[in-house]
Amino acid sequence: MPETIPVDSVGLVTPITLHIDTPITLECGRTLPNYDLIYETYGELNANASNAILICHALSGDHHAAGYHSMDDKKPGWWDSAIGPGKAIDTNKFYVVSVNNLGGCKGSTGPTSINPETNKAYGPDFPFVTVSDWVNSQAVLADKLNIQQWAAVVGGSLGAMQAMQWAISLPERLRHVLIIASAPKLSAQNIAFNEVARTAIKSDPDFHNGHYTEHNTLPRQGLGLARMLGHITYLSDEAMGQKFGRELRNDTIHYDYDVEFQIESYLRYQSSTFVERFDANTYLLMTKALDYFDPAKDFNDDLAATVANIQARSLVVSFTSDWRFSPARSQEIVDALLSAGKDVIYAEIEAHQGHDAFLMPIPRYIDIIETYMQQVAKECEDV
């Protein structure tokens, strides 16, 4: 926990829960009669509402992107390294909005929320949600905040997919899109890993077909397995080797199934902490949203055609050691944008941290975002 709040932090923040009383029809065909969106904001909206930035979270993320909820917090928001006064996404210049997506488990309507039609938690009956659904709900939030047009929509991984969808679906509502550590759609290998994760969760007898809350239990082992697996895919082979190598936790090999290698210890710790803070039904929904994301499917798999009508300018960033969404995947996005005659800046960042690099304060990465956002800030004055 912070002894004192760092000077370049947004400081103590209080999330806001907005209740939206109008229905939203989802791509799967089902409708939510009303719903909540929990969000945080950092900075101030300027007079002509031209300096708003939307932050979209990834698979296991949420609305708490920066700052602290209380002095007891062990860590700040997940992107505190990039968002704050004087930081790359400068809250002295921008009004930054960070929202928890539908289907989430941190305050927006999701599986843990009460279904008004049954008065019980949605649980496994919460509808499937897609990236497009999230964009539509985020647009409703923007309307409520009187933000007609975002200066930029920013996200990493699944968050970047939302940013891409914004540019494709609501072209006039944003001027810039930052697409970080992402892909135009998942590969078969990506889907395969998600399928293993889902199978692990659903195989856990404590999952009870998603009704674990009613059984007063949690699918700890299944969700823990899913998280362990996810973790392996977020880290690079190299970084794992450097961090853990084949270091044993004890001096010698014990010939048992207890934790012997430090990497095992790390994975077990990561999985045990995760299951206490993340909902399993949410996890399933998020992986399906990832699997379904494929904007080019409506354009004959032609990604250039898909982005033909975007108006936003793009910054695309990839990381060398990211093997989940490799630089080659970002290159597909860049190539499509170039083919469609769109403005795009592309940076491949030298990094050893794997997919997780997009969360890290890597100097060249932060510089690039900062430089790009300075240009975005200048334009806000001209809007």
Q: In the bound complex, what is the minimum distance in angstroms from residue 279's beta carbon to a second copy?
A: 16
Q: In the bound complex, what is the minimum distance in angstroms from residue 73's beta carbon to a second copy?
A: 29
| Phi, psi (rounded to 5 degrees) for 25 | -95, 130
Should residue 229 be labelled a site residue for a second copy when binding is judged by CB under 8 A? Answer: yes
Which x/- pattern over 350-379 shows residues binding a second copy (rule: CB under 8 A)?
------------------------------
Residue of 157, 182, 271, 321 marked active site: 157
Q: In the bound complex, what is the minimum distance in angstroms from residue 336's beta carbon to a second copy?
A: 16
Should residue 39 be labelled a site residue for a second copy when binding is judged by CB under 8 A? Answer: no
Q: Among 54, 58, 147, 235, which residue sits at the site for a second copy (rule: CB under 8 A)?
A: 235
Should residue 273 be labelled a site residue for a second copy when binding is judged by CB under 8 A? Answer: no
Q: Among 47, 146, 253, 363, which residue sits at the site for a second copy (rule: CB under 8 A)?
A: 253
Should residue 71 be labelled a site residue for a second copy when binding is judged by CB under 8 A? Answer: no
Should residue 305 be labelled a site residue for a second copy when binding is judged by CB under 8 A? Answer: no
Q: In the bound complex, what is the minimum distance in angstroms from residue 101's beta carbon to a second copy?
A: 17
Radius of gyration of the chain (CA): 21
Query: What would the 3-class secondary structure string for 299-365 be?
Result: HCCCHHHHCCCCCCEEEEEEECCCCCCCHHHHHHHHHHHHHCCCCEEEEEECCCCHHHHHHCCCHHH
Q: In the bound complex, what is the minimum distance in angstroms from residue 203's beta carbon to a second copy?
A: 4
Tokens of 201: 């969760």
Q: In the bound complex, what is the minimum distance in angstroms from residue 128's beta carbon to a second copy?
A: 4
- Residue nearer to a second copy on the CB measure, 221 or 371: 221
Q: Among 156, 222, 295, 327, which residue sits at the site for a second copy (rule: CB under 8 A)?
A: 222
Assess contact for 353 and 360: CB atoms under 8 A.
yes
Q: Among 52, 53, 164, 284, which residue sits at the site for a second copy (rule: CB under 8 A)?
A: 284
Tokens of 345: 């800046």
Residue in this structure with the two tokens 């296991």, named with its chain if needed: 60
Q: Among 202, 208, 211, 249, which residue sits at the site for a second copy (rule: CB under 8 A)?
A: 202
Q: Is 113 a catalytic residue?
A: no
DSSP state of 248: B
CA gap 263, 13 in Å, rounded: 35
Q: In the bound complex, what is the minimum distance in angstroms from residue 163's beta carbon to a second copy?
A: 21
**Per 3-state DSSP, what percentage of the chain is helix, strand, and coil (rounded to 5)?**
40, 15, 45
Q: Is 322 a catalytic residue?
A: yes
Total of chain residues touching a second copy, rule CB under 8 A: 52
Q: Is 206 a catalytic residue?
A: no
Should residue 246 be labelled a site residue for a second copy when binding is judged by CB under 8 A? Answer: yes
Q: CA 199, 222, 271: angle at the middle one, nearest 5?
A: 130
Should residue 241 be labelled a site residue for a second copy when binding is judged by CB under 8 A? Answer: yes
DSSP state of 28: T
**Among candidate residues 355, 339, 378, the one with its CA nearest the CA of residue 160:** 355
Should residue 17 be labelled a site residue for a second copy when binding is judged by CB under 8 A? Answer: no
Which x/- pattern over 93-132 shows residues binding a second copy (rule: CB under 8 A)?
----------------------------------xx----
Residue of 322, 330, 352, 356 marked active site: 322
Tokens of 117: 């039609």
Report H helices in 204-325.
Answer: 220-234, 237-243, 262-274, 280-292, 303-306
DSSP, residue by residue, 42-107: ES---TTS--EEEEE--TT--S--SSBSSTT-SS--TTTTTEETTSSEETTT-EEEEEPPTT-SSS
What is the sign, positive or negative, of the torsion defined by CA atoms of 24, 174, 369, 42? negative
Residue numbers at the binding site for a second copy (CB under 8 A): 27-29, 127-128, 185-189, 191-193, 195-196, 198-200, 202-205, 221-222, 224-225, 228-229, 231-232, 235, 237, 240-241, 243-246, 253, 255-257, 260-261, 263-264, 267, 284, 288, 291-292, 294
Show which residues are catalytic: 157, 322, 355
